[in-house]
Structure 1
Amino acid sequence: MLALGSTLITQQQQRRFAIPALFIACVLVFFIALSKGGVAISISEIIGIINHTADDQLKNAIIWQIRLPRLVLAMVVGAGLAACGAAMQAIFRNPLADPGLIGVSSGAALGAVATIVLGTSLFANFSDSFGIYAVPVGAFLGCIGVCVFIYRLSAHSGQFTIISLLLAGIAVNAIVGSLIGVLTLISNDQQLRDLTFWSMGSLAGNHFAMMTPTLCIIIASCIGLLRLSKPLNLYLLGEAQAKHLGINVTKLKKQVFIYTALCTGAAVAITGIIGFVGFIVPHIVRLVLGPDHRYLMPASILGGALMLGLADLFARTVMLPAEVPIGLITSAIGGPFFLIMLLKTYQQRG
């Protein structure tokens, strides 16, 4: 009993301090990331630039046009992917679940690849109309189209089952993968290079005007998922128990699906495919703070922002003046982590 009491006290203390600690870490990483790069800028200079009291035009341009937009994008995208991961792991009641299971990333990839390969021929008007926004818009439309298709496959007679969602996601992922393969086969050298780099993920080349719609969608989706924290806690007890406690389980699953589709689709559309953030961060937070989504969800949001902020800092500085695609970094971290968690799961069952 004493051991159980001390464990509960320790976990309560961790929950109390985790969110402020993660917030402070995000602020520190924010200023460190702004200061590091090809041109070193001190923290005092950064504060002066942000307050519009610094006169150095070069450093002003570096902060406002290059580092600040991509850092804000990195942290918001990381927060959104981690929130979606936490929600998907709750809905599937499996800590190895990931937003990619429902076909969101593959749908966005299909839209982006179709825009890159066919944008100057079949979809010339589309590319001309949207200009530099064509690939993000195409990726987002592809994501929404695939998610609507999966939703229709998964919903029968007012029911929305997790098994049908998972099976539909697997099937659609396979179909979309084959279509992407065909488009890759008919692409020319420049198109092949563009779609390859897009698939690796990148935060470069974005500015606030281009990012604003994406940021609004992700932030709104995160707020929606935060509001579902209590229903998700009850859902973990089982669907039957959640229904007895007054939770509309079908509505809850649909809400999580919609928020996840919008958030992940918006993120992938602007950055390309950045994997494993939605798997790693919620998993670690759950191990430390437990499964209570009132703490898990906000801690995952801050943890995702922290992880992708650090990954972006590493991507920009490790191979100066070149830049490593951020998707490669998250995959290099996430792949081994996934295998370790998978082995631990097998050991626990054995």
Structure 2
Amino acid sequence: MQNKLPLYLILSLLLLALLAVVSLYMGVYIFEKHSFTEIFSGLINNDGSISDSDRFVLMDLRLPRIVMAILIGSALSVSGTCLQGMFRNPLATPDLLGITAGASLFAAVTIVLGVYIKPYIPEVFHFSLLSFMAFIGALLTMLLVYRMSTTNGKTNVVVMLLTGVAVTALGFAVMGLLIYISKEEQLRDLTFWNLGSVSGASWTKNGILAVVITVCYFVLLPKGKALNAMMLGEKDAEHLGIPVERIKKQIVILTALMIGTCVAFAGTISFVGLIVPYILRLIFRSNYHIILPLSAVFGSILLLTADTISRTMAPPSEIPIGILTAFMGAPIFIIILIRSRKTM
């Protein structure tokens, strides 16, 4: 089955490309030129065959949004897969562990109180302050959950989930306070963060996301065999020559970096890191050598599908993408709980 991994990746990438083309044509606005070949040729040749309105909708609205959905869906899915492998539990996702809530909380503090923070930091860091604070929130939450739930290399699932619940509850409490004291513009931004959306996509944000994800994937994606060994137990993995502690530190820091960046640009999008690994695990068991790279593609497929539905279901308005992923993820979460009940 491992020998077929390149074939699986090629087929899934073709599916993603097809979905991206379909998503490009979905929406209220109808392009003057209906052929994808004509649109693509006009963009490449820049021969004036595409109207300014077509070019604006294509290059400044839909394409950046499609790219952001692909990047964020992939990052959230890989983050969830890595955390599940590290904790050896299918419930270990960024949302259920409170990591997303921690990143959202620090992002919300920056939105409401950033005007008081910015005078004390160099102006060159003002643009990246939100992303940096979201990363700090995700990292601190990840460290807290890991320290509280892991003893002598063994993870207490109950403590892990309760810590995530506590962090999420604290995040909601502070968020409520921030909503109470926020101004109208800040309240609008906070609402955007709570519901999750990729409507604020831009090529600058996509460039930052692409750099962060590329660096993280360079380290995380080859860790499939190490995660397979860690499923046997950390001590057994060490006997097989796996540097367990180093890998765990890399997963903690890099998943926090990806989640923090995603939250900074798209807000809270839940359950992507739960849905994709669960479906892939049904097909490929717990073989992370296959699941890890495939989750990077199928996370993109899931979020791009959800975003396409969100902006075409009730035109001209759109349903926040975080609501759709929650509707998809909650039943799967219940199924996992029912199936895990026998082993708890």
| Aligned-residue offset at 1:256 | 0.9
Using the alignment, how far apart are the partners of 1:242 and 1:39 within structure 2? 54
Amino acid at match of 2:259: T
Q: How far off its partner does 1:155 sit?
A: 5.8
Offset of 1:189 from its aligned partner? Answer: 4.2
Match of 1:144 in 2: 136
- Give the secondary structure class of the aligned counterpart of 1:228: helix
Match of 2:79 among 74, 80, 84: 84
Matching residue within 113, 116, 123 for 2:117: 123
User: Does structure 1 retain, via aligned residues, the 8 Å contact 2:110–2:130?
Assistant: yes
Specify the code of the residue in structure 2 equivalent to 1:77: I
- 1:29 pairs with 19, 37, 40, which one? 19
Shift of 1:176: 3.5
One-letter amino acid matched to 1:138:
L
1:120-148 per-position Cα deviation (integer Å, ceiling 9, x unaligned): 4x2364899589x75x7325414314524
Match of 2:65 among 52, 66, 70: 70
Cα deviation code 1:35-62 (max 9, x no counterpart): 2211234322332244244432211111
Judge conservation of contact 1:111–1:140 (CA < 8 Å) in 2. Answer: no
Is 1:20 matched with 2:13? no
Distance in 1 (CA, whole Å) between partners of 2:188 and 2:202 is 22
Instruction: State the alpha-carbon separation in 1 of the partners of residues 96 and 264 from structure 2.
Output: 17
- Sequence identity, in percent? 34
State how far apart, in whole Å, the 2-side matches of 1:35 and 1:45 are. Answer: 13
Deviations 1:183-231 (A, max 9, x none): 2222244433331222101111321123311221122212321021121
Quote the Cα distance in structure 2 between the aligned partners of 1:349 and 1:126.
Answer: 52
Q: Is the 8 A contact 1:150 1:169 kept in 2?
A: no
Say if 1:153 and 1:272 are closer, same or farther in 2 by CA, change over 3 A: closer
Shift of 1:341: 2.7
- 8 Å contact kept, 1:79–1:300: yes
How big is the alpha-carbon RMSD for the aligned residues of Structure 1 and Structure 2? Answer: 3.0
Indicate the residue corresponding to 2:173 in structure 1. Answer: 178
Structure 2 stretches lacking a partner, 5+ long: none
* Equivalent in the alignment of 2:187: 192
Matches of residues 171-250 of structure 1 in structure 2 within 5 Å?
171-250=166-245
**Given the superposition, is the C-alpha separation of residues 46 and 339 from structure 1 closer, same or farther in structure 2, using an over 3 Å criterion?**
farther
Aligned to 2:44: 51
Partner of 1:251: 246
1:318 and 1:149 map into 2 onto residues whose CA distance is 35
For the structure 1 residues 173 and 40, does the alpha-carbon distance in structure 2 shift closer, same or farther, using more than 3 Å as the test?
A: same
Q: Does 1:301 align with 2:276?
A: no
User: Could you tell me how far 1:242 is from its partner in structure 2?
Assistant: 0.4
Q: Give the aligned partner of residue 106 of structure 1.
A: 101
Distance 1:91 1:154 in 2: 10
Structure 1 residues 52 and 35 mapped into 2: Cα distance closer, same or farther (>3 Å)? farther
The separation in 1 between residues aligned to 2:141 and 2:26, in whole angstroms, is 44
Using the alignment, how far apart are the partners of 1:50 and 1:297 within structure 2? 35
Rounded to whole Å, the distance in 1 between the matches of 2:120 and 2:20 is 36
Change (3 A) 1:191 1:152: closer
> CA–CA distance in 2 between the matches of 1:127 and 1:198?
24
Please say which of residues 325-334 and 43-52 is displaced more in the overlay. Answer: 43-52
State TM-score, norm by structure 2.
0.86
Looking at structure 2, the residues matched to 12 and 255 of structure 1 have their Cα atoms a distance apart, in angstroms, of 25
**Cα distance, 1:329 vs structure 2:** 1.0
Per the alignment, do residues 152 and 108 of structure 1 end up closer, same or farther by CA in structure 2, a change over 3 Å counting?
Answer: closer
Structure 1 residue aligned with 2:318: 323
Aligned partner of 1:7 in structure 2 is: none
Match of 2:334, SS?
A: helix
Match of 1:178, as an amino acid?
Answer: A
Maintained 8 Å contact 1:115/1:138: yes
Give the CA deviation at 1:345.
Answer: 2.9
TM superposition shift of 1:266: 0.8
Q: Gaps spanning 5+ residues in structure 1: where?
A: 1-10
